[in-house]
């Protein structure tokens, strides 16, 4: 208890030291032994608020909040708000929040950890950021970085939410543009989720939902106005959505085991969806043109499907149901439509190339050892 009181007194002293630190508030509640809490709130004019509650042993919470200190904030607003609640053993939570403009746009960060060996770190450089992390279980790690320091007010209003339940899960979020949104929900064992929104990746939305064991999902958005979503169940799944263009939509859904899916959207205003239910499946969609639509659906085992749309305003569908099937589609022309359906027990191949404009192709395979080649 003596350590808790000393920590609280030192924090209050640090909070009140700056001449401009009006209405800076900090509250710490620590129990048991070896708890450490350090809160630094600087130049907080009508801003900054911090609450740390730790119960257990070997817990560490570090919060640093400071605004730009250029001009008073509007009455009734808060520049930085942070709340950390830890229960268990060896939990660590570190929150850094910085505001870069004279206009009061509140930051907010909430971290809740219950269990053992959980680590959560949130860094919010520009104003208007919001982050929420909830971890329940053991050996969990969540890291969130939002905004950029000295960005000239170009990395604001990002939102991140991370929820982890289970064992040995990891979530990484980096949002360096403005008005980005990220949601990660993990419940399982050995799950890995990554969200990266670049400096010019403004107005992007990313969602990763993972259940099961040893699944990996990554959404990377360096363009603007994109939407990326990954849903994984089962085990040993791998999904990757890469959006370097603008106003694209990409979604991947994986069930069962050992499936790999990738969507690369380099052009603009494209839409792609991949559904995998089975085992040992591989699917990839590449959209370098504009206004394209692509769908790949796989149910079975040992299936491979590839779609490449370098033209504009093309539509493609690949359905695979069975085992040992291969489909490849290339649309380099414009306004083309392609449909491929493969059902059967073993070894079907389909190749479709549409390099001119306004073509329609339909391939249906039901059997074994079938080969189809279409060139338009």
Question: For the segment 15-43, what is each residue's pLDDT rounded down to a tens digit?
Answer: 333 333 455 676 666 667 677 666 666 76
Instruction: Say how many C-beta atoms besides its own lie within 10 A of residue 50's C-beta.
Output: 27
Whether the Cβ atoms of residue 320 and residue 347 lie closer than 8 Å to each other? no
When pLDDT is cut at 50, 70 and 90, the band that residue 304 belongs to is: very high
> For 311-319, what is the mean pLDDT?
98
Q: pLDDT tens across 213-267, in order?
A: 999 999 999 999 999 999 999 999 999 999 999 999 999 999 999 999 999 999 9
For 298, the token pair is: 């796989």
pLDDT value of residue 100? 61
> For 359-364, what is the mean pLDDT?
98
Residue 176 has pLDDT above 80, yes or no: yes
**Which one is predicted more confidently, 159 or 349?**
349
When pLDDT is cut at 50, 70 and 90, the band that residue 142 belongs to is: confident
> For 109-115, what is the mean pLDDT?
76
Q: pTM higher than 0.75 for the full model?
A: yes
**Which one is predicted more confidently, 267 or 128?**
267
Please name every residue paired with 240 in a beta bridge, in sequence order, or none if there are none.
218, 262
Residue 158 has pLDDT above 90, yes or no: no
> For 266-293, what is the mean pLDDT?
98
Beta-sheet pairing, 337-346 with 348-354: unpaired
Residue 9: alpha-carbon gap to chain centroid: 38
What is the Cα–Cα distance from 321 to 260, expressed in whole angstroms?
A: 16
| CA atoms within a 13 Å half-sphere pointing along the CA-CB vector of 283 | 33
Burial readout 273-284 (b: 16 or more C-beta within 10 A, e: otherwise): bbbbbbbbbbbb
The conformational region for residue 209 under phi > 0 = left, psi -120 to 50 = alpha, else beta, is beta
Q: In the chain, how many domains are there?
A: 1
Q: Which domain holds residue 236?
A: 2-375
Whether the Cβ atoms of residue 177 and residue 153 lie closer than 8 Å to each other? no
What is the Cα–Cα distance from 134 to 162, expressed in whole angstroms?
A: 6
What does R_g of the chain's alpha carbons equal in angstroms?
25
Of all residues in the chain, the percent with pLDDT exceeding 70 is 77
């Amino acid at each position: 208890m003596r350590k808790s009181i000393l920590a609280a007194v030192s924090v209050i002293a640090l909070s009140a030291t700056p001449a401009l630190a009006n209405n800076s508030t900090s509250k710490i509640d620590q129990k048991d032994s070896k708890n450490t809490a350090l809160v630094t709130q600087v130049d907080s004019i009508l801003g900054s608020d911090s609450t740390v509650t730790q119960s257990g042993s070997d817990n560490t919470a570090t919060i640093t909040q400071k605004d730009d200190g250029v001009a008073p904030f509007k009455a009734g607003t808060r520049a930085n708000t942070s709340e950390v609640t830890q229960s268990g053993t060896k939990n660590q939570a570190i929150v850094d929040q910085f505001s870069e403009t004279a206009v009061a746009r509140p930051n907010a960060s909430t971290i809740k950890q219950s269990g053992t060996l959980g680590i959560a770190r949130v860094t919010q450089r520009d104003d208007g950021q919001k982050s929420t992390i909830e971890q329940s279980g053991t050996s969990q790690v969540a890291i969130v970085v939002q905004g950029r320091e000295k960005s000239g007010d170009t990395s604001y209003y990002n939102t991140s939410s991370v929820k982890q339940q289970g064992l040995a899960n990891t979530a990484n979020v980096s949002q360096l543009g403005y008005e980005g949104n990220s949601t990660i929900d993990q419940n399982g064992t050995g799950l890995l989720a990554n969200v990266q929104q670049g400096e010019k990746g403004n107005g992007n939305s990313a969602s990763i939902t993972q259940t099961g064991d040893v699944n990996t999902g990554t959404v990377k958005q360096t363009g603007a106005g994109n939407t990326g979503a990954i849903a994984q169940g089962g085990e040993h799944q791998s999904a990757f959505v890469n959006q370097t263009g603008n106003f694209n939509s990409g979604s991947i859904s994986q069930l069962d085991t050992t499936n790999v899916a990738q969507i690369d959207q380099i052009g603009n205003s494209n839409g792609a969806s991949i559904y995998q239910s089975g085992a040992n499946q591989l699917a990839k969609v590449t959209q370098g043109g504009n206004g394209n639509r692509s769908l790949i659906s796989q149910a079975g085992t040992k299936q491979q499907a590839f779609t490449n749309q370098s033209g504009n305003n093309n539509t493609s569908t690949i359905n695979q149901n069975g085992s040992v099937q291969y489909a490849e589609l290339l649309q380099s022309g414009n306004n083309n439509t392609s449909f491929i359906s493969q059902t059967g027990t073993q070894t079907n191949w389909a190749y479709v190339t549409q390099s001119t404009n306004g073509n329609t192709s339909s391939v249906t395979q039901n059997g074994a050892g079938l080969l189809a080649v279409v060139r338009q």
